[in-house]
Structure 1
Amino acid sequence: MEKKEFENEYARFWIENGIVFFVYKPNTVIDQEAAKKIVADRIQFQNKADFPVYCDIRGLKSADKAARDYLAKEGSSFTKGVAVLVDSPMSKIIGNFYMGLNRPTTPTRLFTNGDEALKYLQQFAS
C-alpha cells in the first residue's frame, strides 16, 4: 500500500493531486544533520520518483548556513519544480537573494500566497 502521509520531528508531508506537500512544524530549527534527514525522508516517501513540491517554510524558525546550503542543493533532488511558501514579502526578498547565490537545480520560486504557489506547480504535475 502506498504511503499517503509521513511525519518526522521537523515536518509533515503528503501527496495530493500529483504534488508533494511539505510543511515545516511550528518553530522548527534545523542544522545540516536535520536537513539531511528531512531530504532523505522526503525522497524515501516519494519512492525516488520526481514530483513537484509545495514547501511551506512558514513554521521554520531558523536554519544554520550548512543546513541552508544543503537544502539549496540536495533539497532539489527528485523534484520537477518547487514552490516555497514564505510568511512575508521580506522573507520572499531574502529567499530570492539566497536562491540567486545558491541556484537550485530545478525551477524554484517563492510565494507569499498558497494559491499562487499551487498554480505555479500545476505546470509540473503529471
Structure 2
Amino acid sequence: MENEQTSRVAKLWLGDDGIVRIIHVLGAEVTLEDAQETMAGYLKINQGKRRPLFIDTKTMKSMSRETRQYYAGAEAAKVASAAAIIIGTPVSRVLGNFYLGLSNPHLPSRLFSSGDEALEWLKGYLE
C-alpha cells in the first residue's frame, strides 16, 4: 500500500509515527471537490485504520464553507481519530477558533502554531 498521495491542493503521506500529514500547496483555494479528492487520497494511505491528521494550512489561501462542513462532519470522524490544524497568523487563529466553535467537528480538533506541539498532541490519538 502506498504511503504517499497527491491531490490538486495537497500532498499527503503516512509518517513512520502513524500520523498522516496533509500539506496544502501555496495559494490553494480548497473546494468541496478538492476535499473529497484529498479524503480519497487519505483513505488510500491510512491502511484501514483511524489515524490522527496533521493538517498544515499555512500556505492555503481559502476554503469554501461546504469544505469546512465536510471536514467537520461525521464521515471524516469515521476515518480519522483527531485533527491538528497548523495555522500561520494570529488572524488565522481567530478565524480557526471561530470555525471550530461553529462547526462542532465530530472528532477532536485543535489549532497549533507549532508543528512539534501538534505532533505531540496527536500522539495521544494513535489507535
**TM-score, normalised to structure 2's length?**
0.89
> What's the counterpart of residue 23 of structure 2?
23
Q: Which residue of 2 aligns with 1:36?
A: 36
Q: Give the match's secondary structure for 1:106.
A: coil
Change (3 A) 1:77 1:28: farther
Aligned-partner SS, 1:48: coil
Flag structure 1 segments of 5+ consecutive residues without an equivalent. none
| Structure-to-structure mapping, 1:1-126, within 5 angstroms | 2-16=1-15, 17-73=17-73, 74-126=75-127
State the superposition RMSD in angstroms.
Answer: 1.5
Instruction: Tell me the TM-score normalized by structure 1.
Output: 0.89
Letter in 2 for 1:59: T
Residue-pair matches, total: 125
- Detail structure 1 runs of 4+ shifted over 6 Å in the superposition: none
Mean CA deviation greater in 46-55 or 101-110: 46-55
- After TM superposition, give the deviation of residue 83 of structure 1 in Å: 0.5
CA shift in 2, pair 1:29/1:116, >3 Å: same
